[in-house]
Structure 1
Amino acid sequence: MTASSVLNPAQPASLPATGTLLFVDDEPSILSALRRLFRPLGHRVLMAESGSAALEILAQEDVDLVLSDMRMPGMDGAQLLAAVRERHPEIARLLLTGYADIGSTIAAINLGEIQRYIPKPWDDQELLLAVREGLERRRLERENEALHQRVAEQNMQLQTANAELQTVNDRLDDVNHQLERANGELEKRVASRTAELSQVNLMLGKAYEQLQTNFLLSIKVFAGLLELREGSLPGYSEKVGQLAQRLALKLGMSDIQQRDCYAAGLLCEIGKIGLPDRMLRTPFSAMRDDERQRYCRHPLLAEAALMPLNDLRNVARLVRQHQERLDGRGYPDGLTGNDVPLQAQLIGLAATYESLIAGRLGEKRYAPAEAQAAIEATVGAHYSPVLIDAFRQVMADDVAAEPPMVELDVESLKPGMVMGRDLTSPRGTLLLSKGYRFDAVVIKTLCDLVQRERLDIRFFIRTDLAPAI
């Protein structure tokens, strides 16, 4: 009959609510087993040994769920549940059936619209779950009926209220006509005033744009003052600012954050204005200990110089922190981990990249690829992985955007060839800019210079614009 034990009556929580259950089976032992399973859970249990007896009970009792065996003399389970569906469609209907009764089970599903059938011998837990679902469905249907009735009552109330509102609306229409006439006059006055304000706002917008342009120009001039000194690199601050801004854009920072990163990149050297020219010419690795201590104070001096300007206070903070490192070995404050803002990190990365290429950190000048590899090797110690990933993407963008080029010596130059990269002297002075087109006179001058000074200069020539090489 059942291979599993009867559910412990101390576990009523398996059923969300009690209900009136009608069990129908021609075998008294099965009915007794079902009663022992469900009565301890608080259910009201009714039993019938035939379909006709079950219908008589349903005519007198308020039943929530009928569980019927399939094989019974006279009226079988499919016929009984079909009659229940017709007379009491609100009652949940379940069917107990053996594996040999699959055809009859399909008929019961079609005729009686049963919610579920349970194979025999049943599993107690599966049967409890099926009854719980049937009772829950019954409860939801009752709530739905009550809700529909309540909605119908409220609809009647709304119809009455709508009729009253219609009367009020008719009165309001008259008032609205009067208001429309008044609004017409008011709109004319508002339109006139709005046109005046728009014109004023346009003038203010242009003035603000001009102010921002002038302010940025002032920052560039301010940053350029240091590059006039001996030992400084022309264009270094602009390169740092542009790289910092591109990194901020790649990291999804806001327009204001990108602007601050650009300004901080321009001004990150401003604290060196008080250093002697000799220190500016000396790579950091070649400085004495006392010189390094003095040099490492330049972010503090820069912050002090910029703090009086309200619009540059955030920039001043970033300049102070741009030489900090995640491992705490940076300067001037020795910040560690999350205490080093990502904006400050990216400014420091941009400054380090340009310094490696310019030879300011050691005796060696790094090629762009070497400088990139050196910076990527510091991930986790100097810079966060997310910043290194953004830096890698920016460098990849530069490579993808770079035109096809070939590296030539001075004797291979021909008139009409176009420079693909800037050419700088060992001291960082710009000799020939990217895009310069050679002529015979300049090539001869360069040949004489290289031979006279015994220089080893390589020229990156664009192959898409150059004559045959």
Structure 2
Amino acid sequence: MIIIRGFHPKQMTMEDKKMTPSHEHHILIVDDEVNIANALKRIFRNRGYRIHTALNGAEGLVCLEANKESISLIISDQRMPGMSGSEFLEQAKRIRPEIIRILLTGYSDVAAIIDAVNRGEIHRFFTKPWNDEQLLAQVEQALEQYELKKENQRLQDLVKNQNKQLYELGIKQKNIIDAKTQELEKKNQALNKSFMSTIRLLVTFVDVINPSLGSYIKQTAELAKRVARDCNVQGDALRDIEIAGLLHDVGLLGLPVELISKDESEMTEGEAKFFREHVTISLFLIQSVEKLKPASDTVLYHHEHYDGSGAPNGLKAEAIPLGARIIAAAGDYCKIVNLWPEDRNRIIKKVRLAFGPEMIKGIEDYPPAAMLGEIGERALLSGINTKYDPEIISKLIKYIREDRQHRESRITRQVRMHSLESGMVIAKDLRTMDGKLLLSKDIILSPYMIGVIMRLSRARLIEDTMEIVVQQEGS
């Protein structure tokens, strides 16, 4: 086993200190390929972490036993001689259940990922080759969450012990208990916020792999959340609907792009059967994580129809969970505006096949984006009381039209990258030359973001201008 010491925190720059955890963490890297292990060392050695390495699972277990009180996170390769990564992580979990477990695997190694989820209950997985910045960001976020859990447990133990003392002594110091309870609640809120940030980051990875699918998922979740709030859904229930919106179609990632863009009416019997399996895949992934389970019913039933003609159980009207009714409508609209073709002639052909010629009347000459938005609205209205809950459609269309008015009213301009200023708002998604998402629209630029954008622009990885929001009309 090898231990690599990073720089002392006092040697770091101010930027590095911002990302430094509250105490020194130890990371165990297990990989039979020395060059892979060395590459991972280079990523983490300057961040103040202590690095342990092992060349196989058995050696990794010995290292973990010797350092189980100090190691906070494990990064393990999946394919190793003697013991696979999932087998190693399963045994590591028995030694120290709370340790963060990350798996490195091949892009298409779905069976290995499922095995690791079931056996080792991994917290993250990364495909080879990985992106250094994304891996580092995930490790830092995971360690922040690890610290929050530790602090959460400490506070729970502290509150429990104090309650016992108060009971035994007959002392009723309610203000002290209330203060500790509020502190614990703040920690729980921070933990939930970190959890949601992790899910949103995973959806960003979807956006990198398939930009149209990523946009569809994010818009569905945002609209569903707004409609749910309008239906007086609050707290954890509101969060669960947003989670369901983000993950309900994550199973589509394994399907061909051309199949994802099809309406079910266009599919062959074999394609339709294959397509419907994405719900099972999405549900499996959600139910494998304890905190995601409350969203599973919404995912399971989002293909039910209001008149009882849907699947899987033929539920009708209010028997369908509210979240599922919302996502069914929001998802169908967002699929049309994000996943349908952008060519006018192909749109017209697709509409006639899916809905009939009446659906396109009066909008044949619209620009493609406007045409898709109008078709999406008409599809929702035509499905009232058959596919969709009429109350949900009323609220959903209200927000769709608000968003359209917002887009049409704001004034934007092109700004060269060297003229960017902190506080400017991005008007359109910032993507690399090959279409990978870097920053989503409506993000407020920070000095750090501007520095990264300038470097990417100089390297000709992105355009040299960006569309910036100047102001909202009338503001």
What TM-score do you get using the length of structure 2 for normalisation? 0.45
Structure with max Cα Rg: 1
